[in-house]
């Protein structure tokens, strides 16, 4: 048993957490007759300066030629990691892009007792780490043309289609102010897109009430440690375990997509049955008639980097 435990930990720490994976999903969220849109979802990089294989793999995602890139936060795990994040995103920055930040853009990670993740955590139990240079990263992303959706309502043209976007700051640490973006989108648009780092139900419900078609989030790491045939043990937020990663319905009209992310805290550098991932979402027209209730399709495929540093 001791040998099996050691082998499992070795696999989770040395192999799977570097087994970069592209997850694909087809989501019917556009008006009837609309051409498809391809959205690349990147989240939870938790970048350390020396993570060169992660930086190269993310950079190679530009070869997918998405119409839009969405980053849902937690990019940093070290005060010196901004150059590594920008190296990873550099080939994607010429594309239309949107972002919101998470707690590990503002503050560094701290050591935690893993057993506490099995308990329902209160907001005031969150401990701030060292301040991180999020302003520098934000300035670099804005300079290259990406849009900060934090507490803003935006409109942009993506592949000839109108997209209405709204986002909130990280609900996990109580920075969300949904009232600042509240209200339905009244102008004609092909897609109403909501962004949040942590998929807290109170925020998801507000997006649904305002008629958003798709909500994108990260934060959960897909559970990070999953049990085969059971799934995630925890989500580290108010979301139920069955939605810890991938696409699901939230309400009658809205789809939710939660990225399992590409990183881990440096204090918990393991993943099991939950490889690090980015997601390529193909958004298509909603079906009509008897097919209207059908669900989308979600699949994953892996890509192994040559250098696993």
Note the pLDDT tens digit of each residue in 35-58.
999 999 999 999 999 999 999 999
Overall pTM surpassing 0.95 (yes/no): no
Question: Under DSSP, is residue 170 helix (H, G, I), strand (E, B) or coil?
Answer: coil
Q: 143 to each of 90, 96, 151, 159, 208, how far by Cα in Å? A: 12, 13, 19, 21, 32
Q: Is the pLDDT of residue 302 over 60?
A: no
Q: Is the pLDDT of residue 114 over 70?
A: no
Q: Is the pLDDT of residue 304 over 50?
A: no
* pLDDT class of 117 with cuts at 50, 70, 90: low
Mean pLDDT of 242-250: 98
Q: Is the pLDDT of residue 306 over 50?
A: no
- How many angstroms from the chain centroid is the CA of residue 165? 16
- Average pLDDT value for the chain: 91
Alpha carbon distance 29, 122 (integer Å): 34
Alpha carbon distance 32, 34 (integer Å): 6
What was the pLDDT predicted at 127? Answer: 77
Mean pLDDT of 195-211: 98
Sheet containing 191-195: which strands, arranged edge to edge?
153-158, 161-167, 191-195, 214-217, 254-258, 246-250
Task: Tell me if 245 sits within 8 A of 259, measured CB to CB.
Answer: yes
* Rg (the chain; Cα; Å): 18
What was the pLDDT predicted at 298? Answer: 62
In degrees, rounded to 5, the angle at the alpha carbon of residue 239 between the alpha carbons of residues 233 and 245 is 65
What was the pLDDT predicted at 14? Answer: 75
Q: Is the pLDDT of residue 294 over 80?
A: no
Q: 172 to each of 76, 102, 103, 129, 200, how far by Cα in Å? A: 16, 8, 7, 15, 7
């Amino acid at each position: 048993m001791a040998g099996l435990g050691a082998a499992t930990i070795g696999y989770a720490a040395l192999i799977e957490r570097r087994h970069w994976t592209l997850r694909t999903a087809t989501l019917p969220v556009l008006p009837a007759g609309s051409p498809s849109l391809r959205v690349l979802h990147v989240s939870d990089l938790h970048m350390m300066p020396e993570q060169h294989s992660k930086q190269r793999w993310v950079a190679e995602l530009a070869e997918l030629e998405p119409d839009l890139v969405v980053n849902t936060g937690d990019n940093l795990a070290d005060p010196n990691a901004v150059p590594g994040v920008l190296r990873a995103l550099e080939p994607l920055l010429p594309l239309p892009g949107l972002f919101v930040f998470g707690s590990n853009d503002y503050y560094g990670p701290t050591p935690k007792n893993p057993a506490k993740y099995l308990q329902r955590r209160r907001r005031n139990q969150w401990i701030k780490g060292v301040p991180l240079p999020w302003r520098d990263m934000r300035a670099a992303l804005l300079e290259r043309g990406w849009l900060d959706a934090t507490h803003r309502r935006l409109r942009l043209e993506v592949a000839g289609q109108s997209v209405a976007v709204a986002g909130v700051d990280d609900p996990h640490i109580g920075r969300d102010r949904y009232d600042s973006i509240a209200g339905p989108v009244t102008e004609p648009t092909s897609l109403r897109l909501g962004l949040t780092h942590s998929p807290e139900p109170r925020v998801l419900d507000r997006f649904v009430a305002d008629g958003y078609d798709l909500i994108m989030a990260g934060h959960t790491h897909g559970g990070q440690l999953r049990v085969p045939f059971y799934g995630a043990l925890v989500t580290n937020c108010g979301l139920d375990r069955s939605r810890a990663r991938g696409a699901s319905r939230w309400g009658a009209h809205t789809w939710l997509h939660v990225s399992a992310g590409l990183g881990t805290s440096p204090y918990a550098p393991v993943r099991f049955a939950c490889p690090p991932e980015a997601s390529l979402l193909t958004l298509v027209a909603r079906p009509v008639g008897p097919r209207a209730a059908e669900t989308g399709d979600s699949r994953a495929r892996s890509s192994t980097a040559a250098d696993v540093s």
